[in-house]
Amino acid sequence: MPDIRPFCMPKWGIEMTEGTLAEWMVAEGETFSKGQLLCLIETAKITNEVEAEYDAVLARVLVPAGGAEQPVGALLAVTAAPGTDAAEIDAFIAAFKPADTSVAARGGSSDAAPAPAAAAAAPVTNAPRKIETNRPISPEALKFAEDNGVDIDPIVGSGRGGRITLQDVHQAARYPANPALTGTLSVEAEDRAVFASPLARRIAAQHGISLSGVKGTGPRGRISKADVLALVPAPASAAPAAFGAPFVAVANTPTVTRFDSVRKVVAQRLTEAKQTIPHFYLRMSANVDKLMELRKTANLVLGCKASLNDYVVMASARALAQHRDVNVQVHGQEIHSFPHADISIAVASPKGLVTPVVRQADRMRIDQIASATSALIEKAKSGRLGMDDMAGGSFSISNLGMFGIEDFDAIINPPQGAILAVGTITREAVEDGEGFAFESRMRFTLSVDHRAIDGAGGAQFLATLKSLLENPETLFA
- Supply angle C-alpha 464, 318, 338, rounded to 5: 110
Collapsed DSSP state (helix, strand, coil) of residue 295? helix
With beta carbons less than 8 A apart as the criterion, state whether 163 and 137 touch: yes
The CB-of-275 to another protein minimum distance in angstroms stands at 33
Contact status: 129 vs another protein (CB under 8 A): no
Contact status: 154 vs another protein (CB under 8 A): no
Residue 200 neighbours by CB under 8 Å, 6+ apart: 211, 218, 222, 223, 224, 225, 227, 228
Comparing CB distances to another protein, the nearer of 184 and 261 is 184
Contact status: 244 vs another protein (CB under 8 A): no
The CB-of-147 to another protein minimum distance in angstroms stands at 19
- Supply angle C-alpha 282, 287, 293, rounded to 5: 140
Q: Do β-strands 37-42 and 47-51 pair in parallel, antiparallel, or remain unpaired?
A: antiparallel
With beta carbons less than 8 A apart as the criterion, state whether 262 and 354 touch: yes
One residue of 29, 66, 67, 198 binding another protein per CB under 8 A = 198
The CB-of-179 to another protein minimum distance in angstroms stands at 6
Comparing CB distances to another protein, the nearer of 134 and 182 is 182
With beta carbons less than 8 A apart as the criterion, state whether 128 and 99 touch: yes
Residue 63 neighbours by CB under 8 Å, 6+ apart: 21, 70, 74, 75, 76, 77
The CB-of-189 to another protein minimum distance in angstroms stands at 10
Question: How many angstroms separate the CA atoms of 340 and 337, rounded?
Answer: 9
Tell me the CA distances in angstroms from 449 to 18, 118, 238, 411, 417, one per residue in order: 76, 79, 54, 10, 5
Burial of 227-241, coded b for 16+ CB within 10 Å and e otherwise, reads bbbebeeeeeeeeee
Contact status: 224 vs another protein (CB under 8 A): yes
Contact status: 477 vs another protein (CB under 8 A): no
Site for another protein in 28-87 (CB under 8 A): none
Comparing CB distances to another protein, the nearer of 199 and 234 is 199
Contact status: 430 vs another protein (CB under 8 A): no
Contact status: 199 vs another protein (CB under 8 A): yes
One residue of 97, 117, 154, 186 binding another protein per CB under 8 A = 186
Burial bucket for residue 326 (CB in 10 Å: 0-12, 13-18, 19+): buried
Residue 433: left (phi > 0), alpha (psi -120 to 50), or beta?
left
Question: How many angstroms separate the CA atoms of 90 and 86, rounded?
Answer: 6
Site for another protein in 288-307 (CB under 8 A): none
Nearest CA-CA partner of 80 in 23, 30, 148:
30
Let me know if 450 is a catalytic residue.
yes
The CB-of-175 to another protein minimum distance in angstroms stands at 6
Question: How many angstroms separate the CA atoms of 335 and 352, rounded?
Answer: 29
With beta carbons less than 8 A apart as the criterion, state whether 410 and 429 touch: no
Choose the catalytic residue: 207, 331, 336, 450: 450
Site for another protein in 78-117 (CB under 8 A): 111
Contact status: 163 vs another protein (CB under 8 A): no
Q: Please identify, among the stretches 18-26, 212-220, 257-265, 283-291, the one whose residues bind another protein according to the rule CB under 8 A.
A: 212-220
One residue of 43, 197, 309, 399 binding another protein per CB under 8 A = 197
The CB-of-117 to another protein minimum distance in angstroms stands at 16
Contact status: 185 vs another protein (CB under 8 A): yes
Contact status: 219 vs another protein (CB under 8 A): yes
With beta carbons less than 8 A apart as the criterion, state whether 24 and 65 touch: yes
Contact status: 212 vs another protein (CB under 8 A): no
The CB-of-34 to another protein minimum distance in angstroms stands at 23
Nearest CA-CA partner of 313 in 348, 269, 346, 279:
346
Contact status: 215 vs another protein (CB under 8 A): no
The CB-of-100 to another protein minimum distance in angstroms stands at 23
One residue of 96, 195, 281, 408 binding another protein per CB under 8 A = 195
Strand ranges (E), 351-434? 352-354, 357-358, 395-399, 418-432
Comparing CB distances to another protein, the nearer of 222 and 290 is 222
Comparing CB distances to another protein, the nearer of 71 and 218 is 218
Question: How many angstroms separate the CA atoms of 18 and 74, rounded?
Answer: 9
Judged by CB under 8 A, the number of residues near another protein is: 28
Site for another protein in 165-184 (CB under 8 A): 167, 171, 174-177, 179, 181-184
Binding interface with another protein (CB under 8 A): 111, 167, 171, 174-177, 179, 181-187, 190, 192, 195, 197-199, 202, 218-220, 222, 224-225
Active site residues: 450
